[in-house]
Structure 1
Amino acid sequence: MSTGRARTRGARGFVATLLPLALAGALLAACGDDDPPSSPGDPTGLAVQEIEHTLRQRARAILDGDSVLFHRTVAGRGTFLDDQDRYFDNLGQLPLGMLRFDLDPTSLDKDGDGYWADVTVRLRLQGYDVSPVITHDHWRFAPTRNQRRYLLASTTDKRWEADHPSQPQPWDLDEEIEVRDAPGVLGIFDDGSVGSASTVLDAVAEGRFQVRSVLPADLTDPGGVVVYALSDPEFVESLSSLPVNDPDRLDGATVPVPHDAEGGDGRVSSYRVLLTPHVLDQTGDVLDRLVRHELTHVAVGSRARGVPLWLSEGIAEYVSVQPIAPAERRLQTDALDLAARGVEDLPSDADFSGADAEGWYAVSWWVCEYIAATYGASALWALLDALHDGGDQADVVPEQLGISTAQLVAEGIALMRRTYA
């Protein structure tokens, strides 16, 4: 599930929102250009050898930036070749520590003179992903005229994709990306947003140090941060786990990239920060605070798994404002109005996707401010750990703080009112 900051009713004032492995030498050594040996008595076995050969060439061509070799792995021309060239160019800008395409030989399905087959893609961004990101796809391979090679002919099978939902990354989609970097930051932009690259990269690079200075010492630096800042809405619209239902209400999000979503082991290879187009036009202070909010989610990572949103979002807000002088910490627009209507208990996760989401972010922030001011900042991290993996807050809060959840939210709101009255 992605976490982040939502924007309500089109507000454009301050709205604080929504990880090296070298490619094995054996893999490169196996990527020779010679055609594989033929075995006329076993056509399926021959197809497997030839398809595997094509996939090894494809990986090596991308890693080496060899467009001629890459084209030798692709059948057809026109739109499909254009799409493949765009994919080649997109990946060529990334710091690839690993790229591998593996065929499932048992999946070959005859289709005319070609085959459909399942392919596993392993891709790791050097310095940014703690493990390769594994995705699964279904591709068609067509024979050459001499029947000695099978080349990639299609990467789209709508029926298969409907049964195997996945989360594409920006470089997988039908758009050209523009990659820029700074120390510890990899920025993914497009033609419409690359003009903001230096501003975004500076904000993230500085934000990493500011966030690290607030977090407890046992939260280790996750390494480099990947930031998506695209003007084209296609990637945002492809996300299936946004904190709000309407992407237009989203300012930013922290998107976990699973090691293998289909494998379902729960491991995460990377947490990537998403900034939506309209925040690129915001003032520097607003962008900086939003970036710190999302970087807190990145740093906390799986430690917040199963924790109620009021605590994970409240902590992110609390950390994001620490570099700001107290008198300059702006409150989200509807927070006091929400408080005035009466708040009986801590918000549910569902409240963060509703009409009062903006106010609930502020209430959660000030609950965390109250905890830190009353019990010390270490109490926030102790509470986070106690609620990890679905701890019952009705039991955990009194055990940790000595007050009920209703009393806790009342104290947080009272502190907020006194501060902003």
Structure 2
Amino acid sequence: MPPFVSRLAVVALVGSLTSCSLLPGDDDPDVERDRTGAGPVGDSRAITDEDLDAVEDLLEVRAAALVSGQRRRFMATLDPGNPALRRKQRVLFDNLQKLPIDKLYYGLDVSRSRTRVGTDVDARFSPRVYEHLELGTVFTRPVSNRVSMRFVQRDGRWLVAGERFDEDDAPQERPWFGGPIEAALGDDVLVVTDEGADVGAEELLDSTLDALAETAAVLDEPDDQALLVDATTNGRPVRLSRASGQDAGAVTFTVLATDREGDDVEGPAGTVVKANPEYVTQLVDDDRTLRHELVHVLLAEYGETNPLWVTEGIAEYVAYQPLLLARSVATDDRLVEAIDDRRVALTSADDWGKDPELDYLSAQAFAEYLISRSGLVTYREMMDLFDERGRRRDVSRGRGLVPGVLREVYGLTPAEVAEGGFELLRGLDR
């Protein structure tokens, strides 16, 4: 979705249409360190089945302690000689106690790491670990996250020696790992924010439920949607696109469940709206960004079969209701000049994200043009046809399908739809 800054810029330019906290790195003095001497010394040898059984038993105890709220039992799974680790793991424990956990378990993938480093007394082991966490009715399956953990053997006993956020191999969605959080649950919507944030979890939950009801009413969809809204600084920053490098106000995505070892995807676990914590106050004061994301949530059935100008266009159209471009005026000459310089064409998937402000604004114009001609029901018929043909031909983002779908549903060419949208945009200069 557009960055909130661009959303503010569009408001300033268009109408104004009038009518992620990363954990400390290796150079951080508070980073998790082995303070008791175990290190890459002595002989390396293959991890034995006995070692694996011991690590798996340790993770089973850890998971049970987190689910049942047994702090002492959980802390006993940690390396006692690593105070930095223990501080961060206390935060993880406290965060998870605030969430409606139904199920938590871990899996090990040792296909890439079966070597232990160190002496026979003190050794270290860093397998791939997968955390599987199910959150009540918010997720239909446990969300599976790759977590960067390492283990140390102290006097024959395996313990957790480290856990960190890895930017290069980040989990799908894990806001409970990092800094302290607040959580609020309403219906099947769970909201998490940073502890002590200017806009807390309860306030953001109220705004989300209101926006969800409004959006569902416009789309004639039920509003009993399960959803996680993450407005924490934990994890990756919210990026709009690699091409622009801009931060987004919010993004929506589906998280997946895998088998225990992380090898095979078993299906979707749930839907997440990741809100940029820097813009949460604006999200609450002006809920258009929330409504945009909630359109994607409610229309998630289409996956990635539709062109981006179709899915982002309907999201912008609904988000700005009842404001229409046809009744708006640009108040900044820069917008008018940018529109004049823009090529009159439907934005392809390959070009999307190079100019985010105009990508989203032109998509809104294309959607408004089509809906004003034939209504929202026909627009959804177009989306259904893109979805059906995209799945049948195994293509994404409507590649190769646009001329045929537009001709069948509207009797129009892509050039005619593009010109209709740009006529609305040019009308802003009046």
Q: Is the pair's TM-score, using the shorter chain for normalization, greater than 0.5?
A: yes
Q: Does 1:226 align with 2:228?
A: yes
RMSD of aligned alpha carbons: 3.5
Deviation at 1:177, TM superposition (A): 1.8
8 Å CA contact retained: 2:140, 2:270: yes
Q: Does 1:132 align with 2:142?
A: yes
Q: Does 1:255 align with 2:260?
A: no
Q: Does 1:312 align with 2:311?
A: yes
Paired with 2:224 and 2:149, the residues of 1 have a C-alpha distance of: 34
Partner of 1:53: 57
Q: Which has the higher mean CA deviation after the structures are superposed, 129-138 or 359-368?
A: 129-138
Deviation at 1:305, TM superposition (A): 1.1
State the one-letter code of the partner of 2:370.
I
8 Å CA contact retained: 1:184, 1:205: no
In the TM superposition, 1:22-421 aligns within 5 A as: 44-76=48-80, 77-104=82-109, 108-112=114-118, 113-114=122-123, 115-137=125-147, 139-145=149-155, 147=156, 149-155=157-163, 166-167=171-172, 169-172=174-177, 174-191=178-195, 193-217=197-221, 223-230=225-232, 232=233, 235-237=235-237, 242-243=240-241, 245=243, 248-260=246-258, 263=263, 265=265, 267-282=267-282, 286=286, 288-322=287-321, 336-341=336-341, 343-355=343-355, 357-388=356-387, 389=390, 390=396, 391=398, 392-418=401-427, 421=430
Task: Give the 3-state SS of the residue equivalent to 2:176 in structure 1.
Answer: helix
Paired with 1:134 and 1:316, the residues of 2 have a C-alpha distance of: 28
Deviation at 1:166, TM superposition (A): 3.9
Q: Which has the higher mean CA deviation after the structures are superposed, 337-346 or 206-215?
A: 337-346
Paired with 1:330 and 1:75, the residues of 2 have a C-alpha distance of: 63
Deviation at 1:236, TM superposition (A): 4.1
Unmatched tracts of structure 2, length 5 or more:
15-46, 391-395
Change (3 A) 1:73 1:311: same
| 1:379-405 CA distance string (max 9 Å, x none) | 211221222333321322122211111
| 1:255-304 CA distance string (max 9 Å, x none) | 33233496474943222112223433338552x11111111111111414
8 Å CA contact retained: 2:326, 2:427: no
Deviation at 1:190, TM superposition (A): 1.0
Report the structure, 1 or 2, having the larger helix content. 1
| Percent identity (aligned) | 26
Given the two structures, how large is their TM-score scaled by the length of structure 2?
0.76
| 1:137-190 CA distance string (max 9 Å, x none) | 453333343x2x3222223597xx85x554452222x32222233333322111
Unmatched tracts of structure 1, length 5 or more:
17-42
Task: Give the 3-state SS of the residue equivalent to 2:9 in structure 1.
Answer: coil
Partner of 2:22: none
8 Å CA contact retained: 1:336, 1:359: no
Deviation at 1:342, TM superposition (A): 5.3
Paired with 2:291 and 2:216, the residues of 1 have a C-alpha distance of: 10
Partner of 2:24: none
Change (3 A) 1:15 1:95: farther
Partner of 1:32: none
8 Å CA contact retained: 2:143, 2:257: yes
State the one-letter code of the partner of 2:353.
S
Change (3 A) 1:339 1:119: closer
Q: Which has the higher mean CA deviation after the structures are superposed, 61-70 or 196-205?
A: 196-205
Partner of 2:37: none
| 1:77-97 CA distance string (max 9 Å, x none) | 311111211211222211112
Given the two structures, how large is their TM-score scaled by the length of structure 1?
0.78
8 Å CA contact retained: 2:313, 2:364: yes
State the one-letter code of the partner of 2:71.
S
Paired with 2:188 and 2:131, the residues of 1 have a C-alpha distance of: 25
Change (3 A) 1:136 1:281: closer
8 Å CA contact retained: 2:2, 2:357: no
Change (3 A) 1:213 1:332: farther
State the one-letter code of the partner of 1:339.
I
Deviation at 1:308, TM superposition (A): 1.7
State the one-letter code of the partner of 1:57.
V
Deviation at 1:417, TM superposition (A): 4.7
